[in-house]
Structure 1
Amino acid sequence: MKIAYISTYHPRQCGIATFTHDIFSAISFNDKHEKINQHIFALTDEGEEYDYPEEVVFSIAQQTEGDYIEAAKYMNTRDYDICVLEHEYGIFGGKSGDFILSLIDHLHIPLLVNLHTVLESPSIDERSILIRIAQRASKLVVMSQFAIELLTRVYKIPEVKILLIPHGVPQFSVKHQDAKNELDLSDRKVIMTFGFIGRSKGIDVAIKALPALVAKFPDVLYLIVGKTHPTTLKRTGEEYRYYLENLVEEFNLQNNVRFINSFVDIADLSLYLSACDIYITPYVNEAQITSGTLSFAVGAGAAVLSTPYWHAKEMLAEGRGVLFNFNDDKNLADILLDLFSNPDKLNAIRHNAYLYGQELSWHKLGVRYINLFEKVAKRLLDRDTENSWAEIAGQVPEFDLTHLKRLTNHVGILQHARYATPNYHYGYCLDDNCRAMLLTLMAYEMKPSEELEGLISTYLNYVHYMQLDNGKFRNFMSFSNEFLDEEGTEDSFGRTIWSLGYLLKTAPFNGFYQMGKELFFDAVPHFRSMKSVRSTGYAIMGMTYYLEHQPNDRDILEELNAMAYYMVNEYKQNSSESWRWFEKIISYDNALLPLSILRAGEILKDSVLIEVGMQSFAFLDQLIFEKGYLSIIGNTKWYVEGAERSKFGQQPIEVSTVVLLYHQVYEMTQDEKYLAKMVSSFQWFLGKNELHLGLYDAETKGCCDGLESHGVNRNQGAESTICFWISYLDVRRILIALT
């Protein structure tokens, strides 16, 4: 078996580096080690260089996204059986460490993840990143039971995907008194804290507890073992250490506190831990899901006193240690006095910790990891073809129109939202009510309900209210129900015909059908007056759905033929060998154009239309999937041949028609690569995109408004949410059929 670890690594001074080195060593010295080949892909922090050992085969510059992709390619082409990711937000580049998503998106081998941090109140980006990692991983390993509870409650990750393996500890071979003798501490009562120094460690609280203890036990010595964290050192220097040294002088504790300002190796650390009588972790807040220092201290058989952070509450249960209040030096002093005054009580705690620590040895945990690696490695995934439909279906949320209903009142659906709250300032528009009617009709097809009937009625009534006597439509209306335009845009007209055509194909009731028919046919005289190819395409979509219901309507067939060839003429005037498109510019809702031509070609059985549709589709396909995932044209600056295309902002309206387009091409060709791209396009909403961040909000059931250069636009308006759910229904329908 060949294993690739993604982690920081020695000689970089980092707790994750130590953890990875310990796993590496535990497996190297296992009985099966001759059959296992292990390599490290080391994260290198900005501006640093390290003399890595030979097991490091690849260095990833933390802030260089291309290195992450190259690392994945390296693994894919060198027969690795499994990738083991040591995840901690801060060691990866990008926003909240999102560069690691570039690596796993390009990875073609099974992935196992050790989670070193699980946040109870993550930022939106932190939550999205962890969910994306969980979706890709075969297994998530955590080091506490509370981490499992957080992953299932906060991140909605199925418990079956999570495994608890506690933090390992080294072998402590030196006896307590022998260790004291070796360090020349045989006549001292030794208290200890070790690890990187920083304000979050609360060491000042422990120092403040010492005067009362020293007054009764002057032979007490508090060892503070560890250097200032490198990141803290760059940001604030030795400010906290100087503060601690001043406290020592203030309380006259120079003979009772000793700073060992170094990053100690495992041998020295084992000696110090074996020598200490009481170990203290006085962290200042509870949000610590795992602590290697705490695990090491328990493994060494020390009596541990700790504030009640998450990991400590689990680790020190059942008499394995004592908890004291956050930032409470008096409480800590009382416990220290009690334990040193009662040696039998102190020794009982040490004994309980020692027995528990034997189960945490890296020797034993190494066997568990090997067995897990072998199990995960057998589960091969083909990331190129995305053909594990059951697994993909498991990533799709349950259908839920909660946010759609939040934006809808008795008039219709409101255009915009401020975050997930309806924004009344912008009122209503015809475009969104037509989209909402299309979505609810699609949903009703899959699972009829009275609630959906009511929503369809609301959106249809808005369309009816906005139609003018001449058959055209207004578009905008204020929240106070005042018309804001005399006549709507061609786009809003075309989208209305699309939704009405779908209604005439799928109407739940005859009453809905009759109203839709009147609205549709009152608008027909204006079909050929449209000049925009995009508006024409929207109307063509509506006509093709109507003709699926009424295939012999010769008048509408004639309208469809005329409008489709209008688009063909635009294509011929604007296209060339290198630019197979309908306009000299690629702007918005681009997939609609080949989609509508292909649908018209099918209905009319016209090979010219199908040829134009497939040519323009192939051109667009090459543009939007050139990176291996969906990267749509941004609206910052539309794309002109020969010019630079905009990466941002990318909007959900683009994605929904891309999904429908790939579905159409798959149905026509039965080529599964287009089915794979259809599903991959939908995953844009779930984080398979330029920023590797999800736009679907599982809490609100809404969809964010787009990807911008600064991150995700967190407003959840009608258009984005409707486009998400339209894409969802189209993909879900196929996934259900395939699984």
Structure 2
Amino acid sequence: MRSPQSTRHVAFIGNYPPRRCGIATFTEDICEAIAGAFPDASCFAGAVNDRPEGYEYPARVRFEIDQDDPDSYTRAAEFLHINNVEVVSVQHEFGIYGGPAGSHLIGFLSQLRKPVVITLHTVLKSPDADQREVMRRLDELSERFVVMAERGQHLLEEVYGIDPAKIDLIPHGVIDMPFVDSNFYKDIFDAEGKTVLLTFGLLSPNKGIESAVEALPAILARNPEVVYLIVGATHPHLVAHQGETYRESLQALSIELGVAGNVIFHNRFVSMEELKEFIGGSDIYLTPYRNEEQITSGTLAYTFGAGKAIISTPYWHAQELLAEDRGILVPFADAAAIAAAVNDLLEHPTRMTAMRKRAWKEGRQMTWPQVARRYMDSFDAARAGLSVPAITAADNASYPVPPAKLDHLFRMTDHTGIFQHAIYSVPNYHEAYCTDDNARAFIYTVFHEQEHGFDPAIDRLASTYLAFLWYAFDANTRRFRNFMSHERHWLESNGSEDSHARALWAVGTALGHSNNEGFRNLSALLFQRGLEAVMRFSSPRAWAFTLVAIDEYLRAFSGDRSVAKMQRLLVGRLMGLFQANSSPDWQWFERVATYDNAKLPHALILSGQPEAIQKGLISLKWLINEQTGEGGQFSPIGCHGFWPQGSEKARFDQQPVEAHAMVSACMAAYDVTGEEIWAAHATRCFEWFLGRNDLGVSLYDPTTGGCRDALLRDHINQNQGAESTLAFHLSRSELTRRGYGGPCPT
């Protein structure tokens, strides 16, 4: 049984360093934060290029998108599909994607069959027609939005009509820095004994830095030890069109005002470690932006989280973050107000320290690990809220059984046995072999011969699988081992109880159906030597598999009293479980329904004991009812949580082995009762493989003859492992060797 996947595959789309912009920095930060907070998560990025030569990206960036090439977006969507991505996190700001108002992103999302969470770095109060249309389409094509300020949430609701339930308010992440004295860092940039004012980030006119420079004469008149650090390179797009005109204007202004000696430019894009030092060594952070509609500022968030005294113009993000005396707001383009605020703080250090502490304490809720957990909650909600295609009456029309195609079975088998897992349709050597799957494979070859007659190629496969089972059996412990490496080293001394019982099921099947005398003789040895151990087993499914094996064995050796005694013992155990745990609304053997569920009623149906057969039919009928979707499709209990009594049953991840167990149990019920309804149920359960399921997609791959591993909430697991492939072929054989295989009977 495949365990539920714990790894979450997340792709982040946006700009990415070494491209220099705030979006790039944010994309890297959130991607690394998720990877750090969730070590089992697989995170990678898709970077949007604004120049033909691209950038020298780190390994985290797995693919690139040409900003202005629509075909590049198509290729990116396909890349995400083939990499089994579960959630796509898109960073959005008008201008970083090509087309009118970045509409190339819409083409990308239209082709993407994945849940999408969009982080909005800008929310416009007065969008133009193109921008409004892009936002409308983003709403249609995404599961959730993330905004970093309450004002953004209100605008989404009021201006764009976004459902409030679809919006997550998650703050901009911050570095987790201690609350320390700024003097600890000042020697690093030769500012010992100075009071340091700081502004950092990419330089452009909308930053309003000239207002801070203009405030310096009034500040220096009362606090001559002040220096103003302006840290950061000029924005690359500004350099491309205007060169360093803006920076040169600031330098000229500082000379004109006679404060050039107190203004220090660090004209470079600093690393995160350097940035921590600059922030740590600053006393007051200035953010004199000119645009009120600035809804997100990473630089503001970083200094706020570090517990710095902040003086800012009242743009939207600052209004929220600096409320409740966590900072000071001054009017736009008002140098005198900036000077008055700086001087007041410096003259009242106790007030400044208290303000810093309030900011720092609030910032503990904004550290990147905290933000990462909230993003993962949003991603999980996006997957949970993804709409599932409705199964309509048209789906009842026809799902003809495809012809037998065993290419993948041969591909998955070498001279040792069948490989457990596949990467797509290619055998995965890393996880090599197991007794469970070789037992299933041997059962299939026995039934194939019974249905189609002798085939030398299938006979060779059967010999390989039986040889594996013989090698797996330890004569000293009388137990089957289960897992074997590719180097033929057993990875355990005893396998699970279930794997032992599945091996008995396989050799019992050979005794009941095979015409190969050598196979039968060796199977008899394994069955007789391995049966006694089951008396000490506690797994109900191991009892059930063994009962199926016993039923097959007794076809050939009905007079074996010791085996018949074991049958009565195990039937009694299952009946005891049913009587202890069942109720009118819970017709089941345990307090939780887990995996391979139908094998439990299947075992009772084969028992030959009237009361046990009746309980088996009752519990199987209950299981069928509970695993039937609204459109009549088979909808098995998912292995990602199973179904504890009194709780909601897991809908995903649905496993092929569940469909096979149901097909096999229903056909056993048909054989015992002769009632056609059981064959109809079996056929419907088989159609789950072919597309009559909760997603309306086929798990069976007719090009390879393999079967995909699971039906997930929003896609299928594309790997074609042995368990899944054999579940399909065994299910198919259950129907075709009894003469079924057309449309589902009505």
TM-score for the superposition, normalised by structure 1? 0.51
> For 1:46-104, what per-residue CA distance to the aligned partner results, in whole angstroms no more than 9, with x for missing partners?
23421111121110011101101111111122211011101111110111111000100
2:179–2:306 CA contact under 8 A, matched in 1: no
1:274–1:301 CA contact under 8 A, matched in 2: no
**Match for residue 192 of structure 1 among 172, 194, 198:** 198
**Match for residue 133 of structure 1 among 124, 128, 138:** 138
> For 1:99-149, what per-residue CA distance to the aligned partner results, in whole angstroms no more than 9, with x for missing partners?
000100000011111010000011111111012101211110000000011
Q: What SS does the aligned partner of 2:310 have?
A: strand
**Match for residue 98 of structure 2 among 86, 89, 93:** 93
Q: What SS does the aligned partner of 1:89 have?
A: coil
Distance 2:125 2:135 in 1: 12
1:46–1:63 CA contact under 8 A, matched in 2: no
Cα distance, 1:343 vs. partner? 1.2
What aligned pairs does 1:343-358 form with structure 2 within 5 A after superposition? 343-358=349-364
Distance 1:255 1:312 in 2: 30
1:108–1:381 CA contact under 8 A, matched in 2: no
Match of 1:428 in 2: none
Distance 2:387 2:21 in 1: 32
Match of 1:416 in 2: none
1:114–1:142 CA contact under 8 A, matched in 2: yes
Match of 1:715 in 2: none
Distance 1:370 1:156 in 2: 25
**Match for residue 158 of structure 1 among 135, 159, 163:** 163
**Match for residue 333 of structure 2 among 323, 327, 332:** 327
Q: What SS does the aligned partner of 2:109 have?
A: helix
Q: Is structure 2 residue 30 aligned with structure 1 residue 23?
A: yes
The percent identity for this pair of structures is: 39
**Match for residue 36 of structure 1 among 38, 41, 51:** 41
Match of 1:289 in 2: 295
Cα distance, 1:174 vs. partner? 7.8
Q: What SS does the aligned partner of 1:59 have?
A: strand
Q: Is structure 2 residue 232 aligned with structure 1 residue 226?
A: yes
Cα distance, 1:210 vs. partner? 0.5
Count of residues in Structure 1 that have an aligned counterpart in Structure 2: 388
**Match for residue 20 of structure 2 among 13, 25, 29:** 13
Structure 1, unaligned runs of 5 or more: 389-671, 677-739
Distance 1:132 1:335 in 2: 44
What aligned pairs does 1:307-326 form with structure 2 within 5 A after superposition? 307-326=313-332
What aligned pairs does 1:253-652 form with structure 2 within 5 A after superposition? 253-381=259-387
> For 1:553-611, what per-residue CA distance to the aligned partner results, in whole angstroms no more than 9, with x for missing partners?
xxxxxxxxxxxxxxxxxxxxxxxxxxxxxxxxxxxxxxxxxxxxxxxxxxxxxxxxxxx
**Match for residue 68 of structure 2 among 48, 52, 63:** 63
Cα distance, 1:173 vs. partner? 4.5
- CA pair 252-387 structure 1, distance change in 2 beyond 3 A: farther
Distance 1:275 1:174 in 2: 12
Letter in 2 for 1:118: V
Q: Is structure 2 residue 148 aligned with structure 1 residue 143?
A: yes
- CA pair 223-51 structure 1, distance change in 2 beyond 3 A: same
Distance 1:173 1:343 in 2: 19
Match of 1:82 in 2: 87
Letter in 2 for 1:155: Y
Q: Is structure 2 residue 107 aligned with structure 1 residue 102?
A: yes
Cα distance, 1:376 vs. partner? 1.9
Letter in 2 for 1:189: T
Q: What SS does the aligned partner of 1:90 have?
A: coil
> For 1:491-545, what per-residue CA distance to the aligned partner results, in whole angstroms no more than 9, with x for missing partners?
xxxxxxxxxxxxxxxxxxxxxxxxxxxxxxxxxxxxxxxxxxxxxxxxxxxxxxx
Distance 2:254 2:278 in 1: 21
Distance 1:162 1:372 in 2: 9
Q: What SS does the aligned partner of 1:255 have?
A: helix
Distance 1:47 1:221 in 2: 41
Cα distance, 1:184 vs. partner? 3.0
Q: Is structure 2 residue 129 aligned with structure 1 residue 124?
A: yes
TM-score for the superposition, normalised by structure 2? 0.51
2:15–2:49 CA contact under 8 A, matched in 1: yes
Distance 2:42 2:134 in 1: 29
Q: What SS does the aligned partner of 1:103 have?
A: helix
Distance 2:336 2:391 in 1: 61
Match of 1:245 in 2: 251
Q: What SS does the aligned partner of 1:42 have?
A: strand
> For 1:467-504, what per-residue CA distance to the aligned partner results, in whole angstroms no more than 9, with x for missing partners?
xxxxxxxxxxxxxxxxxxxxxxxxxxxxxxxxxxxxxx
- CA pair 386-312 structure 1, distance change in 2 beyond 3 A: farther
Q: What SS does the aligned partner of 2:183 have?
A: helix
Letter in 2 for 1:82: V
Letter in 2 for 1:12: R
2:179–2:360 CA contact under 8 A, matched in 1: no
1:110–1:381 CA contact under 8 A, matched in 2: no
1:109–1:381 CA contact under 8 A, matched in 2: no
Distance 2:390 2:234 in 1: 46
Structure 2, unaligned runs of 5 or more: 1-7, 393-691, 697-746
